[in-house]
Amino acid sequence: QNAAFFDAHNPAGMEARNRALYAALDDLRSYLYSPEGQVAIFDATNTTEERRQLLIREFHGHFQYLFIESICTEPKVLEQNYRAKMQYSPDYSGMDMEQSLADFKARISKYEEVYEPIANRNIHYIKLIDMVTGRGHMDVNRISGYLPGKIVFFLMQAGMAQARRIWLTRHGQSEYNQVDRIGGDSSLATPGEVYARCLPEMLLERLPLPVPVPVSVWTSTLRRTIQTARYLPFPKLRWKALDEIQAGACDGLTYEQIAQQYPDEFMARCKDKLRYRYPAGESYLDVIQRLEPVIIEMEREKECIVVVGHQAVLRAVLGYFMAKPLASIPTLDIPLHTLMELR
């Protein structure tokens, strides 16, 4: 839709946008009332107090809610954001960049004609003012509870989209991999050592050019990831949170041995890999929880990041960035000797 569609004085546009509003609200309610429904994001401009009060009436007494308003007054940041949006918006698919920008700026001016900043202290909101510039501040009003607090913390780390990349790779084949044992802290086997020596060239040819970009390498505290990363010519950081899923009493065993020695455990794991917890060990849900600070730091980090990790851990990281369903995470394909790139 072009800018005229968003004009508050365009009756046809207003009618169509209101239909879209109520259709989205129906979808939101259906999701939140479903067994899977926990948190929903109602992504819309909601630029007037009247619109926000309409939403409050819809939510009050049914769901907890909060508004998030982001204000940016820095022209350079806005221009960069506009250009990034133009690359992915279906409204401007196939259009010239300058033509798209002109229409989008006209759309924004239509919103500005009716825009009313959040000022009502009786509602729950988080307001970000020039946070993406690194010189801004937040206004947090009537926010309490575990999830709202987590949202505030997450937004404190958020910044402008960066032209950076994230690479994920498992450690090279280890001595335990060769004999199908799980867990442990074994060193690299010969094929894993070959991969470690090839990894720098694979990575260097994928760095964004022509502008040099800083790169940080993150590993677990286990030998096989540290050895895999040792030839990479970048600063390295070791995270205990990136260690492989703890197999507890099954550490060092093969799955065949687990089936023989712990048949009930083996069957329980086959039935539900996501929630199954090794005796005195961890489940995938445990791994996902302990990865939270790593994910937050990855979101905040402005450098390119290389994560040299383990299968279960990288499944959780990849699942987060690819927005995969929780139940699919234990089966995501993370092969050995493969470099995956996220943009």
Q: Which residues neighbour 168 within 8 Å (Cβ) at sequence distance 6 or greater?
A: 307, 309, 314, 317, 318, 334, 339, 340, 342
Please provide the DSSP assignment of 197-218 as one string.
Answer: HHHHHHHHTTS--SS---EEEE
Question: What is the token pair recorded at 205?
Answer: 């040819």
Q: Edge-to-edge strands of the sheet including 137-141?
A: 67-71, 125-129, 137-141
E strands, 165-310, are 166-170, 215-219, 236-238, 304-309
- The residues assigned a catalytic role are 43, 72, 171, 244
Q: Are 215 and 301 within 8 A, CB to CB?
A: no
Q: Are 172 and 194 within 8 A, CB to CB?
A: yes
Region class of 184: left (phi > 0), else alpha (psi between -120 and 50), else beta: left
Number of C-beta neighbours around residue 279 at 10 A: 10
Question: What is the token pair recorded at 322?
Answer: 């690819």
Give the 3-state secondary structure of residue 23: helix
